[in-house]
A and B are shown apart, each in its own frame.
Chain A
Amino acid sequence: MDRPTLDNWMRPPHTRWSFRHVRELIPTARIRHGHHPSELTYEPAGNLLDLHFESTSGRRVLGEYLATTDTDALVAIKGDAVALEWLAPGIRNDEPHLMFSVTKSITALLCGALVGADKIDVDLPVITYVPEVADSGFGDATVRHLLDMEASYAFVEDYSPGPDIVLYRNSAGWYPAPPDHMGLHEFLRTRQKQDEHGERFRYMSPTTDMLGWVCEAASGLPYALAVSQYLWVPMGAEADADITLDRFGTPRAAGGLSATPRDLARLGRIVADNGAGIVPADYIEDFVNGGDPSHWAIGDYADWLPGGCYRSCWYQPRVDPDCVMAVGIHGQMIYVDRPRGIVVVKQSSWSEPDNNDLHSDAEYACRAIARALGSDSPVAV
């Protein structure tokens, strides 16, 4: 039985197995759910899989799209009801699936909960919480810079992978590294400043690992315990989630969380419900209204999402007002349509990490689902 290893787990054809078995590849901390899962009823919306939507390559039918684009699971909820739960053959609904950079959006919700608990002030310097990085590129950044991906230091996020990503993944325990390799904290401490913070959107994953470190220091809890206590238990998760750790126990707060599709839908509901009493309402409302689109316009992803913004680790497509999304490589997404009270979660094992058209198609599919479910009439085909 040759299963994937750390040497090849993120490459095809291994992605489908690997993304649901990360704990078998990398040490993980358990993110415990509580004893009282919030109930989701099941009210399937008739012919949703027949829904048509406009993709980057023309008109597609949802069922055909899901079946042919390496989707593992898709769950759409409206209020407390599951309107669609689609699973690829062989995929179970109780397996935590790696969410890659959707983890960032979860870390940012944790940060919000800690703001609500008066443990973090996002306008303060990072070193208020983590003095260890005073001499690094993060030395004069604020927590807000981390949240909005506007910290600036020398790093190239190239998933091909480029040398920075290799060093980063070696530090995080995601690639095979010699046993004495530096860990994530050392990696963060040794980033060098480049240009000014707060001027433009620079998508650099370690920025959110820094945010995770801030959350741990501010809460006095390891990341997994903090996510459990501040999000997973209060939102009524039905399963444990987990987060990958480096060899010193540092969590990959930028990309290492695995969770079941329904629990991610519950997480999206926090955003749909103005924080649901778990995260301060104004922190959530700021996702859709806050941020500076001019920083986005000169940033890394302006071509992919023109006119958009990235605020507190959630993307604002700004096409539909009040809709936000969390996006991870290889096809992970939480799409939240707040006015319609709809959350769509997508888990995938795309061979390609980061193809703009694939990301856009996922967004368009989720938007079409939200609009169809949000209309008073049965699903419009």
Chain B
Amino acid sequence: MNRPTLDNWRQPPHLVWSLRHMRELVPTAQIRCHSSMCVLDPAPADGLLDLVFAGTRQEWRLGDYLDQTETDALVVLHDGRVVLEWLAPGIRDDEPHLLFSVTKSVVALLAGALAGAGLLDLDAPVTQYITKGAGAFAGASVRHLLDMTASFDYVEDYSPGIDFAEYAIANGLHPAPLDSPGLRGFLSTRSPEGEHGVVFRYLSPTTDMLGWVCEAAAGLPLPVAIAQYIWEPLGAEADGHITLDRAGTAFAAGGMSAIPRDMARVGLLVAERGAGIVPQGFVDDLIHGGDPAPWAAGDFADWLPGGCYRSCWYQPRVDPDCAMAVGIHGQMIYVDRPRNVVVAKQSSWSDADDSDNSTDAYLAARAICRALAADAPDARITLH
């Protein structure tokens, strides 16, 4: 039985197994669910898989798109009910799947909950919580971390480039020599570069810094804080987990795994304006707030023109009142608040971050929302 190892888990053809078995590859901490889960009633929308949408390269039938583009699971909620739960052959609905950078969006919701509990001031400097080791983040505010506008010397190149390779060794997702500094050591030794708060720079370690701030503010290890402030109140139905480095530091920028329905429940929290778990103002702000200027000058402006990244959620801005969480290899939560639709997608794309693939996922989710709300003139199906 030659299963993937830490050396090759993120290469095809291993991804489809690896992303649902992270705990077998690295140490993980449980993110405990509560015994009282939020029940999602089924209300199947017949014909949704026959929905046709225009992708970047071709027109797709949704069912074919899911079949042919390495999707593992797709859950669609409309008015809080499950209208579609699609699973690729061999995929179970109770296996936690790596969320990659959707983890960032969960950690940001935790930051919001901690702000609501009076434990975290989002406008405070990072050094108010991290008195030793903030390094290049010393002049940044918590808000800079949330909006990915902290600036330091780092290149996010998944191919992987030098920085990303060093980062993967530090966070434990790549085999590490015995003297590896770990995630905290990595964060503490970044060099300053440019000003904070000016440009959207998608640098994953920024969210690890946010995770560190949340731990310090909550006085709890990150997995316990996520469980207590998000996972339990959310009514998650299964334990999630998060990868740890050798010192036990959770990988806040990309290490969380959750089952598809629980991923959808995270979207529901946003659709329901915080659901009493995260302050309404914080959730409204992640959909409407933020400054488009740093985005326009930033790393992903070509991918999502006119968009914004606020509190670790993307605002497409083409559709007002919609927000999405995106992770490499095809992870996504799309929330359409006016139509009250949530789409959660888990995938094992061979490509980490092909922008056409990412756009197609977004276009598929958007088409689903419109079809369900029956306001899509181009929808070629009738939904009951």
Contacts and interface: CB of A to CB of B under 8 A. Distances in A.
A179 B23 contact: no
Interface of B: 1, 3, 5-6, 21, 23-30, 175-178, 215, 221, 241, 244, 246-248
B1 A23 contact: no
Contacts of A28: 23-24, 28
Given A178-B177, A178-B178, A216 B1 contact: yes
Given A24-B29, A25-B27, A27-B23, A5 B244 contact: no
A42 interface: no
Main DSSP-derived SS at the A contact region: loop
B27 A27 contact: yes
A178 B28 CA distance: 20
Given A245-B24, A249-B3, A24 B176 contact: no
A30 interface: yes
Question: What 8 A-B pairs have minimum CB-CB distances, sorted nearest first?
Answer: A179-B175, A3-B248, A249-B3, A24-B29, A29-B24, A24-B27, A27-B24, A176-B178
Contacts of B5: 247-249
Contacts of B178: 176-178
Given A3-B221, A27-B23, A179-B177, 4 more contacts: A21-B29, A23-B23, A24-B27, A27-B27
Given A28-B23, A249-B1, A23 B248 contact: no
A23 B177 contact: no
A6 interface: yes
A247 B6 contact: yes
8 contacts: A6-B246, A27-B24, A27-B25, A29-B21, A177-B178, A179-B176, A247-B175, A249-B3
A353 interface: no
Interface in A157-185: 176-180
Interface of A: 1, 3, 5-6, 21, 23-30, 176-180, 216, 222, 242, 245, 247-249
Contacts of A242: 23
A283 B223 CA distance: 43
B355 to A, nearest CB: 33
B176 A5 contact: no
B221 A27 contact: no
A23 B27 contact: yes
Main DSSP-derived SS at the B contact region: loop
A216 B1 CA distance: 10
B246 A24 contact: no
Nearest to A246: B5
Nearest to A6: B246
Contacts of A5: 246-248
Contacts of B215: 1
Nearest to A2: B247
A242 B177 CA distance: 26
Contacts of A25: 27
B3 A24 contact: no
A5 B247 CA distance: 6
A1 B3 CA distance: 34
A24 B224 CA distance: 13
Contacts of A21: 29
A1 B223 CA distance: 13
Contacts of B175: 179-180, 247
A178 B24 CA distance: 18
A24 B24 contact: no
Contacts of A180: 175
Contact of B28 (A1, A6, A23): A23
A23 B3 contact: no
Contact of A249 (B24, B27, B241): B24
B23 A30 contact: yes
A20 to B, nearest CB: 11
B251 to A, nearest CB: 13
Given A23-B29, A24-B244, A176-B246, A248 B3 contact: yes
Contacts of A177: 178
A29 B247 CA distance: 20
A247 B29 CA distance: 18
B1 A222 contact: yes
A193 B65 CA distance: 57
Given A30-B23, A216-B1, A249-B1, A24 B28 contact: yes
A179 B29 CA distance: 22
Contacts of A3: 221, 247-248
Contacts of B241: 23
A242 B27 CA distance: 12
Nearest to A248: B5
A335 to B, nearest CB: 29
A1 B221 contact: yes
A247 B215 CA distance: 29
Q: A24, A178, A180 — which one has the most chain B CB atoms within 10 A of its CB?
A: A24
A43 to B, nearest CB: 23
Contacts of A30: 23
A143 to B, nearest CB: 19
A26 B26 CA distance: 7
Contacts of A29: 21, 23-24
Contacts of B177: 178-179
